[in-house]
C-alpha cells in the first residue's frame, strides 16, 4: 500500500508511463457533450444563452485545447470585457476552471479556460511535464488567442488563476501588462510547496529531492524513459486515512466527485528541477495592476495567499477577500462559496475592466 504521508506531500512515488488506474473512475464526463464535470454545466448551446465553443490553437508549436464561453445574447460586433482562467495543478478546463469561466460568462464576460501544455487534451511531450515557465506561457498564450476572438475587448482583459493557476497568474501578470486586473482563488505557490513541502514539511529533504530530479533527467537523456512523480490513482481506504484538509478533499474531488480521465496528479520527476527553484512571489512587486486574492477562511493553503498579497507592494490597489467557512477545495465547487467568489470577482472586474 502506498505511503499516505508521501501522498500528502505529492512526492509519493515514481511510476512508469504505462500506469493503470486502480479502480474505475466516475463517468460523469461521459454525460456531457463537452465532457464538463461541474454541476450546472452547459449541456447544449441555445440562442440567447451562455454558449461554449471548443477551440484549438498553436503555442510554441504545441496544440492547445481550450473552451471559450460567450455571454447570453452574444453579439460578435460588440465588445465585451474578457477574462482568461488558469486551472489548478492536476486540473483541466472541464472542472473548476470551466465552472468559473461559465459563471463569469453568465455575468456578461467572454471567458476562456484551457488545458496547460503537456496536460489534459493539449499536446506536448513528454506528457505531464509541469514546468513553471510553460504554465506561465500558457496564460500569455490565452491572452494572445482571446485578444483576437470576435467580441473580446483586449483593452479590458483580466485573468483569474485558481490554485496553482493562481501562482502562475501572478507570475504572468508581473511582465504581461495586457492583463488589466489580476485575481486569484485559493492560490497555491507551486514552487514553494515542491521545494519546502506543504506547510514546510519537507525542508530537510530538499537536496535529496533535487538529486532525484537530476537523476531523472539523466535517465531521460540516456534512455528516453520518463519518470513520473505524484498520484496516478488512489483507493477509498487511502483517502479516508488522509488527514482532513487539502489533499484528502482534493483526492475526493479529482478522483471521485469531479473525476475526468484527462486530470491526474502526475508530473515528470525532472520538472522538479524547475519547480523547486521557482517561486510565485519572486519579483511580485512588478505587479502594478489591481489585484484581488480570494481564499477560504478554513483553507490550509491560505498562508500562501497571505504571503503573496503582503509582498505585492506595488499593486495599484489590492484586496484579500476571505470566504468564511470555506476550505481550499470547497471553493472549487460548493454552490454557496462559488456564488460568493463569483460575486466578488464580478464586482472587481466591473471596477477594473
**Across residues 212-219, what is the average pLDDT?**
97
| Whether the predicted pLDDT of 9 surpasses 50 | no
What's the pLDDT at 137? Answer: 98
Answer CATH for 4-352 from 3.30.43.10, 3.10.20.30, 3.40.30.10, 3.40.50.1820: 3.40.50.1820
* 61 conformational bin, left if phi > 0, alpha if psi -120 to 50, beta if neither: left
**pLDDT for res 142:** 98
Question: What is d(CA 349, CA 342) in angstroms, rounded to the nearest whole number?
Answer: 10
pLDDT of the residue at 322 = 98
Average pLDDT, the chain: 93
Any idea of the CA torsion for 47, 52, 55, 60, to the nearest 10 degrees? Answer: 140
Distance CA 242, CA 255 (A): 14
Query: pLDDT band at residue 5, thresholds of 50, 70 and 90?
Result: very low
Cell of 261: 480521465
- % of residues, the chain, pLDDT over 70: 93
Cα Dmax for the chain: 58
Q: Which residues, other chains included, contact 278 with Cβ-Cβ below 8 Å and sequence gap of 6+?
A: 132, 190, 191
**Does the pLDDT value for residue 13 go beyond 60?**
no
pLDDT band at 317 (very low <50, low <70, confident <90, very high): very high
pLDDT tens, residue by residue, 70-122: 999 999 999 999 999 999 999 999 999 999 999 999 999 999 999 999 999 99
Residue spans of the domains in the chain: they are 4-352
- What pLDDT is attached to residue 26? 54
- State the average pLDDT over residues 262-277: 96
Q: Is the pLDDT score of 3 beyond 50?
A: no
Lowest mean pLDDT among 10-19, 125-134, 206-215, 316-325: 10-19
Cα separation, 167 vs 162, whole angstroms = 8
Distance, in Å, from the CA atom of 147 to the CA atom of 108, rounded to the nearest integer, reads 17
34 pLDDT more than 80: yes
Comparing 158-162, 231-235, 308-312, the range with the smallest average pLDDT is 231-235
pLDDT at 19 over 70: no
Q: What is the mean pLDDT of residues 24-29?
A: 68
> With 50 as the cut, is the pLDDT of residue 17 above it?
no
Report d(CA 86, CA 112) in Å as an integer.
9
**Which of these, 242, 252, 250, 318, lies nearest to 285 by C-alpha position?**
318
Q: Look up the pTM and report it.
A: 0.92
Contact assessment for residue 64 and residue 51, using Cβ atoms and an 8 Å cutoff: no
Place 160 in a pLDDT band, splitting at 50, 70 and 90: very high
Amino acid at each position: 500500500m502506498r505511503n499516505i504521508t508521501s501522498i500528502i506531500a505529492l512526492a509519493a512515488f515514481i511510476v512508469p508511463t504505462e500506469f493503470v488506474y486502480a479502480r474505475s473512475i466516475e463517468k460523469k464526463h461521459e454525460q456531457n457533450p463537452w465532457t464538463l464535470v461541474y454541476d450546472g454545466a452547459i449541456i447544449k448551446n441555445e440562442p440567447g444563452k451562455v454558449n461554449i465553443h471548443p477551440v484549438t490553437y498553436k503555442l510554441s508549436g504545441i496544440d492547445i485545447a481550450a473552451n471559450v464561453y460567450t455571454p447570453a445574447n452574444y453579439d460578435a460586433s460588440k465588445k465585451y470585457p474578457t477574462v482568461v482562467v488558469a486551472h489548478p495543478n492536476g486540473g483541466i478546463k472541464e472542472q473548476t476552471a470551466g465552472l468559473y469561466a461559465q459563471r463569469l460568462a453568465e455575468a456578461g464576460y467572454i471567458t476562456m479556460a484551457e488545458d496547460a501544455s503537456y496536460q489534459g487534451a493539449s499536446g506536448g511531450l513528454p506528457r505531464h511535464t509541469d514546468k513553471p515557465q510553460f504554465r506561465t506561457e500558457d496564460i500569455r498564450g490565452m491572452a494572445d488567442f482571446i485578444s483576437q476572438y470576435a467580441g473580446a475587448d483586449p483593452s479590458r482583459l483580466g485573468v483569474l488563476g485558481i490554485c496553482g493557476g493562481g501562482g502562475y497568474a501572478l507570475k504572468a501578470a508581473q511582465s504581461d501588462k495586457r492583463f488589466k486586473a489580476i485575481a486569484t482563488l485559493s492560490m497555491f505557490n507551486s514552487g514553494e510547496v515542491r521545494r519546502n513541502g506543504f506547510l514546510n514539511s519537507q525542508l530537510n529533504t530538499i537536496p535529496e529531492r533535487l538529486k532525484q530530479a537530476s537523476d531523472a533527467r539523466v535517465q531521460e537523456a540516456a534512455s528516453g524513459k520518463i519518470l513520473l512523480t505524484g498520484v496516478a490513482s488512489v483507493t477509498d481506504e487511502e483517502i479516508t486515512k488522509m488527514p482532513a484538509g487539502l489533499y484528502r478533499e482534493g483526492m475526493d474531488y479529482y478522483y471521485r466527485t469531479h473525476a475526468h480521465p484527462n486530470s491526474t496528479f502526475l508530473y515528470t520527476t525532472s520538472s522538479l528541477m524547475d519547480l523547486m527553484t521557482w517561486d510565485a512571489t519572486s519579483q511580485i512587486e512588478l505587479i502594478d495592476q489591481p489585484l484581488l486574492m480570494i481564499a477560504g477562511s478554513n483553507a490550509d493553503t491560505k498562508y500562501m495567499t497571505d504571503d503573496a498579497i503582503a509582498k505585492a507592494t506595488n499593486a495599484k490597489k489590492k484586496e484579500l477577500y476571505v470566504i468564511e467557512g470555506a476550505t481550499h477545495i470547497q471553493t472549487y465547487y460548493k454552490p454557496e462559496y462559488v456564488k460568493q467568489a463569483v460575486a466578488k470577482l464580478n464586482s472587481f472586474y466591473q471596477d477594473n475592466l
